[in-house]
Amino acid sequence: MVTTTIPGAPAGESADVPRRTTSRIGPSDHAFRLVARAGGAAVLVIMLLVGGFLLYRGWAALQVAGWSFFTTQAWDPDSNNFGVAALLVGTVAIAIVAVSFAVPLATGTALYISEYAPRRFQRTLVSLVDLMAAVPSVVYGLFGFYLLSGKVIYLSKWLSTWLGWIPIFRVVEGGQPVDPRDPLATMSVYSSSTFIAGMIVAMMVTPIMCSVMREVFSQAPVGEREGAYGLGATKWGMIRTVVLPFGRGGMIGGTMLGLGRALGETIAVYMIITPLFEINWHILQNGGISVSALIAQRYSESSDFGLSALMAAGLALFLMTLVINFIASAIIARSRSGAESEA
Amino acid sequence: MAGLTPAETAAASTAYAEDAIAQRTDEVDPTSRRARHAAEPDDDAARRPTTTIPAPPAESDVPARPRAIGGTGEGGAFPVLAAAAAAVGFTALLFYQLAPLSGALGLVVVGYLSFLVFYTVLVSYENPGPAVRAKVASVIVPSLGFVLLAALVLVVGYVLIRGWESLKHLNFVTQDMSFAGPLDPLTVGGIVHAAIGTLEQIAICLAITIPAGIICAVFLSEFPGTFSRFVRTIVEAMTALPSIVAGLFVYLSYILIWGHWVETHLSERLQWLAPGKSGFAASLALSIMTLPIIVRAADVVLRLVPGHLREASYALGASHWRTVWQVVLPTARSGLATAVILGTARGIGETSPVLLTAGFAASVNLNPFSGPQVSLPLFTFDSVKSPEPSMVARGFGAGAALMLLVLLLFVLARVLGGRGPGNLSKRQLRRRMVASYRDARRFAERSRSRSVVPDSAPAPGGDSEERHV
């Protein structure tokens, strides 16, 4: 019989202890540690300062306004009548319009780049999408104000004519519903609307969503793709059963990142929309407001307390964006994307 | 097998059968062979396990070809063209005869939807359901990508074309607006003051953010622990800060509160500490906005540096600082450059923080620490609010100039970076190969000289380290 002999510990000796290793840290490393820590701490201090100041000044206004801050539909801080109800609804409405345009576009483009486009064009296409993300927002604003809004009002009218029975597509002026079929009606009710602002914001956020989604789609494991083809799937069948389920986390995360950017967009919205301080669910109709457009509009004429009130509005926007961004990064990190699969 | 046409199934089984022919010894039908085995149980061959090979199907003259997996190209472009023609006709009928609709955008939308319907119907005559879906998807998906690229071309093209109207005058890039009113023609006045403002503000912003951002990113990746995790969380949170709020912060804290404090507490000679609305205030706001973006991007790039490079450096006895300075940062250089340039492109085009902090000036102000200083996005934004056509044209000109600047930065980023660490271009690869060839030759010479004369005078050109080896 074969036996394995295990050498016993020699009697009288203590058990093994790990070898003690020491490392000498030179003066340059000490300096490096110090500088790196100081750099990290400095960035932390700057960021906490911004956040803390925002909280501190905004809190002052919040205490004066109380709970009515979240229900008031007006912005008149000096007579103590101000609130973010209309602002938040307007901001969210613009962001929702933007996201509902951007998600199909971004998904389609990401799928096209990762699955359908010829391989030699892929890098060029990726660069073009990244370039679109780098185009300044004021340029989008110019485009939206001078070219797009003149064209979109016809689409708005068409939507309101055929889909006017859906409440959000109805157009109301002075309490009276406007009849889109009335040939004498002016087109001006359709201009400067949430819908147009949302379309422009969609053009800005689509590239952000698209690059997150493309990254995730291209990581879909080759083994599973080939498995789907081997079982007789068509290309679309493969995408539907392998790529899209694999990339679901990235799609949701990318969408929320885009949503976060859409909520904070200022200049393009400010250039297009006509300010209106009441909750306006009729997205095709003239008038709307967003928090950032309000700040851009009111900062110069505000008193000290008025600025605090603007800070409180900014704080509300920041917290909303923050929550959305954190959820987005948690979803991206938890999704299967990046997990190795045998292939 | 839902996605297969009968012909495809036949093709697949033909390929299988052709493989099988090589192994087959006789033309016996499998069923009859099994019957024979059953009849002769004592045969030696019968006890061995057998493999039953199906006979080729009768219609085996179908040539083998790859299975179709979707795509419009199969069967020619005929269905696409036919559907397009039908859609054009239908849309024209709808818009001009039956139900007069209007608007170019509506025309395109209705035309495209009808094209999809016609294409689906045409394709469904010849294909089963899954193949129809695949074909329709391979029309819809590229057209979504095309819409996005068309939007990009439209935006860039529109602004460049409208901007050309003022950019073609030379004075537009050599003069400022101090002698030009809104009513003056485009041959007077220009944007040089705004261009100077943009360059100075972004330069100050980069002087703040590049050192701070890269040191912070190095800290995050080199010193993992609770503290760096906390810093990373806060930095990620601050990327959510809306840019206008960064502007509002600088306006309230630096311009109003700090300005007031300096005015009341400090002497006449120290008043320069609080310049009010100025280029410096604008670059502070831009820094607060771009710092988290740069830190986050640089952190991602630094974490991609392969661990074995770091360990090789430690194994050679390098200190932590040497490893970071000579291994980690050079490896990540192109990625860091990309991170910085993309952050710059984002900052250079931001209008909202500048709107609150820079003030507005019509003439060149070279000193960012005193007096208002306008920048390109702010000039664009301010000009197009004017009702005068020439002022709007100037706004478009400034917008186009800004766009060209961003384009330039972007191309620079692509040329410098865009490759992962360790992923070399052809020229870098050649240079590195030449270097290692040189090293190899040097080592060979050294060992040869050592083996010939074991312990004589120091090797020619040898340095102090090798003498006591």
Tens digit of each residue's pLDDT (9 = 90 or more) over B307-317:
888 899 989 98
CB-defined contacts A:B, below 8 A = 306
Answer yes or no: are the C-beta atoms of B306 and B422 closer than 8 Å: yes
CA gap B57, A196 in Å, rounded: 62
| From A202-216, B51-65, B209-223, B375-389, the region with the lowest mean pLDDT | B51-65
| From A130-134, B54-58, B87-91, the region with the lowest mean pLDDT | B54-58
Per-residue pLDDT band at A120 (split at 50, 70, 90): confident
Answer yes or no: are the C-beta atoms of A217 and A117 closer than 8 Å: no
A9, part of any domain = no
Please give the domain boundaries of chain B with CATH numbers for all domains. Answer: 1-67 (no CATH), 78-161 (no CATH), 192-420 (1.10.3720.10)
Answer yes or no: are the C-beta atoms of A169 and A159 closer than 8 Å: yes
Q: Where are the beta strands (DSSP E) in A155-241?
A: 172-173, 176-177
Contact B402 A136 (CB under 8 A): yes
Q: B185 at the A interface (CB within 8 A)?
A: no
Contact B377 A310 (CB under 8 A): no
Structure tokens, B307: 């661990």
Tens digit of each residue's pLDDT (9 = 90 or more) over A33-76:
899 999 899 888 988 888 888 888 888 888 888 888 888 777 88
Per-residue pLDDT band at B461 (split at 50, 70, 90): very low
Tens digit of each residue's pLDDT (9 = 90 or more) over B172-196:
878 877 777 777 777 777 888 888 8
pLDDT over 60 at A340, yes or no: no
Q: What average pLDDT does range A208-221 have in this prediction?
A: 85
Would you state the torsion angle of the CA atoms of residues A222, A225, A229, A233, taken in this order, to the nearest 10 degrees? Answer: -170
Contact A43 B295 (CB under 8 A): yes
Answer yes or no: are the C-beta atoms of B146 and B82 closer than 8 Å: no
Q: Which positions 256-285 of B are in contact with A (Cβ < 8 Å)?
A: 256
What pLDDT does B17 receive? Answer: 45
Residues 6+ apart with CB under 8 A from A302: A77, A309, A310
Contact B321 A234 (CB under 8 A): no
- Smallest CA–CA separation between A8 and chain B, in Å? 35
pLDDT over 50 at B464, yes or no: no
A204, part of any domain = yes
Tens digit of each residue's pLDDT (9 = 90 or more) over A86-100:
888 888 888 889 999
What pLDDT does A8 receive? Answer: 66
- Residue A177 phi/psi, 5-degree rounding, is -65, 135
Contact B213 A43 (CB under 8 A): yes
What pLDDT does B104 receive? Answer: 67
What pLDDT does B279 receive? Answer: 87
Average pLDDT, chain B: 78
Per-residue pLDDT band at B306 (split at 50, 70, 90): confident
Chain B interface, mutation test: which of A30, A43, A44, A325, most B Cβ atoms within 10 Å? A43
Q: Name which residue leads in pLDDT, B334 or B212.
A: B212
CA-nearest of A130, A77, A251, A158 to B95 is A158
- Cα distances (Å, whole numbers) of residue B446 to B75, B436, B450: 69, 15, 6
Contact A40 B219 (CB under 8 A): yes
Tens digit of each residue's pLDDT (9 = 90 or more) over B315-338:
998 888 899 988 898 888 877 887
Q: What average pLDDT does range B223-251 have in this prediction?
A: 87
Average pLDDT, chain A: 81
What pLDDT does A233 receive? Answer: 86
Per-residue pLDDT band at B43 (split at 50, 70, 90): low
Of A151, A292, A321, the CB nearest to B104: A151
User: Partners of A172 in the beta sheet?
Assistant: A177
- Residue A285 phi/psi, 5-degree rounding, is -100, 150
Tens digit of each residue's pLDDT (9 = 90 or more) over A152-186:
877 777 777 777 777 777 777 666 666 666 666 66
Per-residue pLDDT band at B285 (split at 50, 70, 90): very high
Chain A interface, mutation test: which of B205, B219, B357, most A Cβ atoms within 10 Å? B219
Q: What average pLDDT does range B78-85 have in this prediction?
A: 82
What pLDDT does B25 receive? Answer: 43
CA gap B314, B299 in Å, rounded: 21
Q: What average pLDDT does range A113-117 have in this prediction?
A: 88
What pLDDT does A337 receive? Answer: 47
Of B102, B249, B319, the CB nearest to A50: B249
Of B1, B4, B321, the CB nearest to A29: B321
Q: B43 at the A interface (CB within 8 A)?
A: no
Per-residue pLDDT band at B44 (split at 50, 70, 90): low
Instruction: Count up the domains in chain A and report the number.
Output: 1
Q: Name which residue leads in pLDDT, B84 or B441.
A: B441
CATH code of the domain in which A100 resides: 1.10.3720.10
CA angle in degrees (0–180, nearest 5) for B364-B368-B370: 90
Q: What average pLDDT does range A138-146 have in this prediction?
A: 88
Terminal Cα distance for chain B, rounded: 70
Structure tokens, B445: 């010479």
What pLDDT does A302 receive? Answer: 75
Tens digit of each residue's pLDDT (9 = 90 or more) over B365-404:
888 888 888 888 888 888 888 888 888 888 889 999 998 9
pLDDT over 70 at B102, yes or no: no
Per-residue pLDDT band at B14 (split at 50, 70, 90): very low
- Smallest CA–CA separation between B75 and chain A, in Å? 16
Q: What average pLDDT does range A239-246 have in this prediction?
A: 89
- Cα distances (Å, whole numbers) of residue B96 to A138, A271, B89, B90, B202: 37, 35, 11, 10, 53
A17, part of any domain = no
Of B144, B396, B406, the CB nearest to A104: B144
For the entire predicted model, the pTM comes to: 0.76
pLDDT over 70 at B52, yes or no: yes
- Chain A CB contacts of B155 under 8 Å are 135, 139-140, 143, 203
Eight-class DSSP state of B272: G
Q: What percent of chain B has pLDDT over 70?
A: 78
> B76 exposed, middle or buried (CB, 10 Å; 0-12, 13-18, 19+)?
exposed
Per-residue pLDDT band at A213 (split at 50, 70, 90): confident
Pairing assessment for the beta strands A176-177 and A172-173 based on DSSP bridges: antiparallel
What range defines the domain where residue A243 resides? Answer: 85-334
A61, part of any domain = no
Please name the residue of chain B whose CA is at the shortest distance from the CA of residue A28. Answer: B321
Contact B105 A152 (CB under 8 A): yes
